[in-house]
């Protein structure tokens, strides 16, 4: 498929708190984003926190960190890596998900051959990665600022922060996928080896979508859909699925790419996707659109999504740099794209980084 390179219409500056813990990791490892009114929420790879930025001239600032361990009893506490790869919004909730993936160790440069080989044979589980949930937020109507809280009362109804039910290193979703006809064989393969790896989350009314970076099956990307209801202290899956499973499956032909981010344009119902290589390699990262979204069906196969534009082709400047990871829809319908491992020219001072805005 012919590439559709497009230059951004402008850049925006994301300015983080100079005193923030892990400041350089935050601005250089951004993985997902969502915008609501004047509030931008982002997350980065190696934490269990959500970062909030507020709109200001030229971009976003007034950075504040919200540790998820302050809202939930996480298996590995605040220091455990959640690998947050999806943020989504459905008023009044901020949704999040970890990657729910296994991790293969990699050799250090100073390892000898035996130690390096041993590292490559080691697969580990970060238990916080198996976390998905939602946090209610309260808005200041004058400023458009949304603040996550453990509990919010709106028009007499209480909204409480809750996680999807599961064990210490699983969720009810991953347990069900372990017997899925398409996905089960990939559940014990690490991420970036075409194993199971969530990257992307979107919520539209009562429909929740998660995108899979892997597996890509026969060249087809996979998006899972489900609903939830509250029962006790947790969220539970609603029955709406395929093959007697409480989830739906959508297969999308994205030129062999896996999902990196999902957004839903609430004005049109269009599903917007950021897609790129499944494995740890440089390659094209593209924005795609499924007009009108997915139909209310247990399983769908989408042959012809619309390829909007190509964001980057990894490696054209430097290996492993400037990887588009997050995409958010701004109020004017343009797309804000943020990057993991940004090039030096994206870094501003000691505490800011530039994202790109693309016209759809």
pLDDT digits (tens, 9 = 90+) for 240-267: 766 678 899 999 999 999 999 999 999 8
Residue 99 pLDDT: 94
Q: How many helices (H) and strands (E) does the chain have?
A: 3, 29
Considering the domain boundaries, does residue 121 fall inside one? yes
Residue 116: φ, ψ to 5°: -65, -45
Q: Read off the pLDDT band of 62 (50, 70, 90).
A: very high
Considering the domain boundaries, does residue 168 fall inside one? yes
Q: How far apart are CA 349 and CA 275, in angstroms?
A: 30
At 263, list the tokens: 């957004």
Q: Read off the pLDDT band of 177 (50, 70, 90).
A: very high
For the residues 56-66, what does the mean pLDDT come to? 96
pLDDT score of 228 more than 80? yes
Residue 1 pLDDT: 55
Q: Report pTM.
A: 0.95
pLDDT tens for 288-300 read 999 999 998 989 9
Considering the domain boundaries, does residue 1 fall inside one? no
For the CA atoms of 73, 78, 81, 82, what is the dihedral angle to 10 degrees? Answer: 40
Residue 77 pLDDT: 83
For the residues 312-334, what does the mean pLDDT come to? 84
Q: Read off the pLDDT band of 280 (50, 70, 90).
A: confident
Considering the domain boundaries, does residue 122 fall inside one? yes
At 261, list the tokens: 């981010």
For the residues 4-21, what does the mean pLDDT come to? 92
For the residues 45-64, what does the mean pLDDT come to? 94
Residue 320 pLDDT: 79
- Stated as kind and residue range, the H or E segment containing 134 is strand 132-140
Residue 317 pLDDT: 67
Quote the Cα angle for 141-143-146, to 5°: 70
Number of domains in the chain: 1
Residue predicted with more confidence, 4 or 140: 140
Q: Read off the pLDDT band of 211 (50, 70, 90).
A: very high
Q: Read off the pLDDT band of 193 (50, 70, 90).
A: very high
Lowest mean pLDDT among 1-5, 183-187, 210-214: 1-5
Contact call for residues 227 and 207 (beta carbons, < 8 A):
yes
At 142, list the tokens: 């004058």
CA-based nearest residue to 207, from 241, 256, 158 = 241
Considering the domain boundaries, does residue 4 fall inside one? no
The Cβ of residue 252 has, within 10 Å, a number of other Cβ atoms equal to 23
Burial of 167-204, coded b for 16+ CB within 10 Å and e otherwise, reads eebbbbbbebbeebebbeebbebbbbbbbbbbbbbbbb
Lowest mean pLDDT among 33-42, 84-93, 210-219, 276-285: 276-285
What percentage of the chain has pLDDT greater than the value 70? Answer: 96
> Residues near 350 by Cβ (< 8 Å), separated by ≥ 6?
18, 23
Three-state secondary structure string covering 171-230: CHHHHHHCCCCCCHHHCCCCCCCCCCEEEEEEEECCEEEEEEEEEEECCEEEEEEECEEE
pLDDT tens for 93-110 read 999 999 999 999 999 999
Considering the domain boundaries, does residue 3 fall inside one? no
Considering the domain boundaries, does residue 135 fall inside one? yes
Residue 315 pLDDT: 58
Considering the domain boundaries, does residue 16 fall inside one? yes
CA-based nearest residue to 332, from 50, 10, 5, 6 = 10
Which residue range is the domain that position 16 belongs to?
Answer: 10-358
- CATH of residue 103: 2.115.10
Which position has the token pair 């947050």?
84
For the residues 288-316, what does the mean pLDDT come to? 88
Query: Where do the H-state alpha helices sit in the chain?
Result: 23-28, 113-120, 172-177
């Amino acid at each position: 498929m012919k590439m559709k390179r497009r230059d951004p219409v402008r850049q925006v500056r994301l300015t983080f708190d100079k005193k923030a813990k892990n400041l350089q990791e935050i601005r250089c490892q951004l993985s997902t984003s969502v915008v609501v009114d004047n509030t931008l929420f982002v997350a980065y790879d190696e934490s269990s926190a959500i970062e909030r930025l507020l709109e200001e001239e030229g971009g976003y600032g007034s950075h504040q960190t919200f540790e998820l361990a302050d809202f939930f009893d996480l298996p590995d506490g605040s220091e455990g890596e959640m690998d947050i790869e999806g943020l989504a919004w459905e008023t009044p909730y901020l949704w999040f998900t970890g990657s729910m993936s296994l991790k293969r160790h990699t050799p250090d440069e100073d390892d000898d051959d035996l130690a390096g080989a041993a590292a490559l044979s080691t697969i580990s589980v970060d238990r916080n990665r198996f976390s998905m949930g939602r946090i209610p937020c309260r808005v200041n109507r004058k400023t458009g600022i949304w603040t996550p809280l453990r509990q919010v009362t709106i028009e007499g109804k209480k909204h409480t922060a809750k996680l999807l039910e599961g064990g210490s290193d699983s969720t009810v979703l991953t347990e069900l996928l372990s017997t899925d006809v398409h996905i089960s064989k990939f559940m014990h393969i690490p991420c970036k080896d075409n194993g199971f790896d969530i990257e992307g989350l979107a919520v539209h009314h009562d429909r929740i979508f998660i995108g899979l970076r892997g597996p890509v099956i026969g060249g087809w990307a996979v998006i899972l859909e489900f609903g939830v209801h509250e029962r006790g202290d947790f969220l539970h899956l609603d029955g709406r699925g395929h093959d007697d499973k409480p989830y739906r499956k959508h297969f999308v032909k994205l030129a062999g790419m896996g999902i990196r981010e999902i957004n839903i344009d609430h004005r049109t119902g269009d599903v917007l996707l950021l897609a790129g290589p499944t494995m740890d390699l440089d390659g094209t990262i593209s924005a795609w659109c499924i007009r009108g979204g997915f139909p209310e069906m247990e399983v769908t196969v989408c042959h012809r999504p619309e390829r909007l534009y190509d964001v980057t082709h990894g490696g054209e400047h430097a290996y492993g740099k400037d990887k588009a990871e997050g995409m958010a829809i701004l109020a004017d319908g343009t797309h804000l794209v943020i990057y993991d491992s940004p090039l030096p020219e994206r870094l501003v001072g000691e505490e800011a980084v530039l994202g790109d805005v693309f016209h759809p």
